[in-house]
Amino acid sequence: MIEPRFAWRVVEAIAPTSGLADAGRRLGLGERAIGLLAARGLSSADELEAFFAEPISALHDPALLPDAGIFLARMRAARAAAETVMVFGDFDADGLTGLAILVRALRRWGMDPLPYVPSRLDEGHGLSTKAIDAARAAGATLIVTVDCGSTSVPEIAAARAIGIDVIVTDHHRLPPELPVALAIVNPQRADSRYPERRLAGSGVAFKLAQLLLADEPGGPAAALDLSDLATIGSIADLVPVLGETRAIVRLGLARIAAGPRPGVAALLAAASIAASAVDSETLSFSVAPRINAAGRVGESAAAAALLLTDDREEADRLAAELEGANRTRRDLTTQAMGEARAVIAGLLDPLMATDPADAAIAAAAVASDPTLGEPGLLAPLIPDPLATNATIVRGPWPVGIVGLVASRLVDDHGRPAIVGAELGDVIRASCRSDGRLDLGATLDACGPLFLRHGGHAGAAGFEIETSRWPEFVATFDALAARSVPADPRLPLAIDFAVPALEIDYALHRDLRRLDPWGQGHPEPLLIVEGLTVTRVRAAAGGHTQLTLRRRLDVLDGIAFGRPDLAETVQAGDSVDVVARLTSRSFGGYESLQLDIRDVASAGLHAASERTGSLIDAAGPPDPGDAGPTTAPHVLPVAS
């Protein structure tokens, strides 16, 4: 019998209202597509029509953002007085695209802002004293943060003390104590009247670009032209692709397809992707990782320059630099993953690996890198024995990759993961959730232990004195115990089950009409029932290819990242699979393909637990939630 790796959770069907069903038929939607939207919360004809309406109609008035009026007045004063303004952007893809949006908008507005991107290693998240010193040296009298600053209380106080105003633009969770900034433009504020609380940092920057350019000749169109950058940042940061963010993503994808700006075109060329083929998945897996790579293994200046240049030759040179950084990032991540898995499995003392699964992981780690077995090599990498409800490990790894390692450890063990980078007297750690623990709230509860911390429900980070690490582990583990499920397997949220004979091009076209996909609106996962395996083949890269017969024909399937299926599935097995329905073109012909996430013996899922909604199954998206970066039914950023 083939047991599934994940806990299959089929979303409870919700009968569409008559208004929704009638509107769906008028739009030419099939019954399954209408039912899927009903299960995702749509209930009226108006909501369905808004879902398919022109995206520009879903954009809200940026003047409704908190402190938008203060922001605009201060920027006008700075322009009139020819002040030097520093734009400080975070070093990830959301912060970098947001920085590019605001710098480009200010240039279009007649200003010459000074872009600044901090060092991940030397400065960390948030406004830094080094940036304030640089602003003072440059004669700047105003700093505008992008995708950060809500927790930079002492730094903003220091800037104010030397006569530099700070305007915070951000989307992260707000702390109890707010900084003494001139303005805090953050839709998460309790007093916010803005209709959309779930914007990314780049989304907030996009709205402020609209605000700045609203009354300029050609300004509104120039602001919309920046939607491609906001789309990349929003997809990379895993904010829900719902409401206004969905509208921004639709605009941005159309902007890229019509002709990408030089920096984006260079990134697509490096990834061998045609602009016409770009969707949210290619941005997540191919574009965002390249933007992030520079900051993970070095400095993000090249990524910022790439997004700001209008010269294709320069863009190609910078994209090549990012491509090299991305290769380095992959190598460092692979090495750190092998070390972390070996330590967790008890490789320091083989007798510690009492779990056969852990023993297998340890053996695989040594097989891939025999040096891991050398005495003393992993001595500093000790998993804390107090942690039983989360995977917690620290070691001498680069700060820029510990979040990627944590994401993969969530997949390995089906529980929250924390990976710390040892930096002498302090440890800087990244946390990833399994979708069942709100990391932002949990770290808040541990707040007194940290030098600083922040994040979302699904992804967060902190810095702590090394001496306080054991106390943190004990505290966090106790809090994590409250979220331990009866079934330790990660849940896989499934939209509906369909007999294999009903998989056809009509269903594929119907579902494609509901994109773009992303956090909060993931690409549908289906249980395809009643298949017989005719061929199994291990594929390069740790994947498994399956050929699956229904009645008179076959469906091809590919299970990415599932080398185990080549061993557990055999020709002749009767199976059900969980998969995305995709298509591929080869030699001028199109064929359907199953992107397989899990496999089980036929009929096993019939008794699976049912859940009230897709969002509940996949984990509730906290406003501004970064989301579990590798949860099975969200669109992850490639690591």
Q: What pLDDT digit, counting tens, does each position of 181-216 carry? A: 999 999 999 999 999 999 999 999 999 999 999 999
- Average pLDDT (162-178) is 94
Pairing mode of beta strands 7-11, 610-611 = parallel
Same domain, 214 and 98: yes
Its domain, for residue 105, covers 62-238
85/125 same-domain check: yes
Q: Which of 359, 360, 429 is nearest to 392 (CA)?
A: 429
Residue 147 lies in a domain: yes
Give the burial class of 241: count Cβ atoms within 10 A of its Cβ; 0-12 exposed, 13-18 middle, 19 or more buried.
Answer: buried
Residue 223 burial (10 A CB sphere; 0-12, 13-18, 19+): buried
CB 515 within 8 A of CB 280: yes
Query: Which phi and psi (to 5°) does residue 353 adopt?
Result: -85, 80
pTM of the model: 0.85
Quote the DSSP letter at residue 448: G
Over residues 505-556, the pLDDT tens digits come to 999 999 999 999 998 999 999 999 999 999 999 999 889 999 999 988 999 9
Residue 61 dihedral angles phi and psi, to the nearest 5°: -70, 115
Q: How far apart are CA 86 and CA 145, in angstroms?
A: 8
Regarding whether 70 and 46 lie in a shared domain, the answer is no
pLDDT band at 606 (very low <50, low <70, confident <90, very high): low
Q: Determine the 3-state secondary structure of 472 from DSSP.
A: helix
Same domain for 75 and 197, yes or no, is yes
- pLDDT for 490 equals 81
SS3 465: strand
Residues 218 and 79 in one domain: yes
Q: Is the pLDDT of residue 59 over 90?
A: yes
- 512 and 595 part of one domain: yes
Same domain assignment for residues 510 and 454: no
Within a domain: 475: yes
Cα separation, 452 vs 575, whole angstroms: 49
Chain position carrying tokens 């017989």: 532
Tokens representing 435 are 């979708």
Taking residues 566-575, report their average pLDDT: 96
- Residue 72: CB atoms within 10 A of its CB come to 17
Domain's final residue, options 455, 485, 515? 485
Predicted local confidence at residue 489, as pLDDT:
80
- Whole-number CA gyration radius for the chain: 25
> For residue 589, what are the CA distances in angstroms to 509, 547, 579, 583, 586?
16, 18, 22, 10, 5
| Nearest alpha carbon to residue 169 among 89, 106, 259, 233 | 89
Is 451 found in the same domain as 414?
yes
Q: How confident is the model at residue 589 (pLDDT cuts 50, 70, 90)?
A: confident
Position of tokens 């967060």? 460
**pLDDT of 289-301, one tens digit each?**
999 998 998 889 9
CB 103 within 8 A of CB 208: no
> Whose structure tokens read 């996909």?
517
* CATH assignment at residue 398: 3.10.310.30
- Whole-number percent of the chain with pLDDT over 70: 88
Q: What is the DSSP letter of 13?
A: P
Confidence of residue 128 (pLDDT cuts 50, 70, 90): very high
Asked if residue 120 and residue 30 are part of one domain, the reply reads no
CB 152 within 8 A of CB 145: yes
Report CA dihedral (461, 463, 466, 471) to the nearest 10 degrees: -60
Name residue 466's amino acid. T
**Distance from C-alpha of 458 to C-alpha of 621, rounded to nearest angstrom:** 9
CATH at 160: 3.90.1640.30
Which tokens go with 422? 């040892």
Determine the Cα–Cα distance for residues 372 and 375; give it in Å rounded to an integer.
Answer: 8
Query: Which tokens is 234 given?
Result: 């929003």
Average pLDDT over residues 29-46: 94
**Type of residue numbered 315:** A
Assess contact for 189 and 177: CB atoms under 8 A.
no
Structure tokens that stand for 87 in this block: 């734009």
The 10s digit of each residue's pLDDT in 131-161 is 999 999 999 999 999 999 999 999 999 999 9
Evaluate whether residue 171 is within a structural domain. yes
- The mean pLDDT of the chain is 88
pLDDT of residue 249: 98
- 281 in any annotated domain: no
Whether the pLDDT of residue 403 is over 60: the answer is yes
CA distance to 235, 236, 369, per residue, from 288 (Å): 8, 6, 29
- Predicted confidence at residue 121, as pLDDT, reads 82
Q: Are strands 426-432 and 459-465 parallel, antiparallel or unpaired?
A: antiparallel
305 occurs within a structural domain: no
Give whole-number Cα distances, 265 to 148, 216, 249, 274, 287, in Å.
27, 28, 17, 9, 10
CATH number (domain holding residue 587): 2.40.50.460
In the predicted model, is pLDDT for residue 629 greater than 80?
Answer: no
Q: Where a domain ends, among 464, 485, 506?
A: 485
pLDDT band at 624 (very low <50, low <70, confident <90, very high): very low
Mean pLDDT for 591-609 is 85
Q: Calculate mean pLDDT across residues 586-593.
A: 84
Q: Which residue has the tokens 């390249």?
A: 290
Identify the weakest region by mean pLDDT among 133-137, 169-173, 382-386, 486-490: 382-386
Give a yes or no: residue 581 inside a domain. yes
Instruction: Tell the residue number behind the tokens 């939630």, with chain if given.
Output: 625
Q: State whether the Cα torsion 340-342-345-350 is positive or negative.
A: negative
74 and 218 assigned to the same domain = yes
Residue 559: inside a domain: yes
Question: Where does a domain end: 204, 238, 272?
Answer: 238
Q: Rounded distance, CA 68 to CA 55, Å?
A: 23
User: What pLDDT shows up at residue 386?
Assistant: 57
Answer whether residue 291 is part of any domain: no
pLDDT of residue 628 exceeding 50: no
Write out the two tokens for 128.
């830094």
- According to DSSP, residue 180 is labeled -
Question: Residue 364 — pLDDT band, cuts 50, 70, 90?
Answer: low
Q: Given a cut of 70, is residue 626 above it in pLDDT? A: no
pLDDT of res. 551: 87
How many distinct structural domains can be found in the chain? 3
- Are residues 103 and 223 part of one domain? yes
Say yes or no: 414 and 502 in one domain: no
Helix (H, G, I), strand (E, B) or coil at 529: strand
pLDDT of 218 strictly over 90: yes
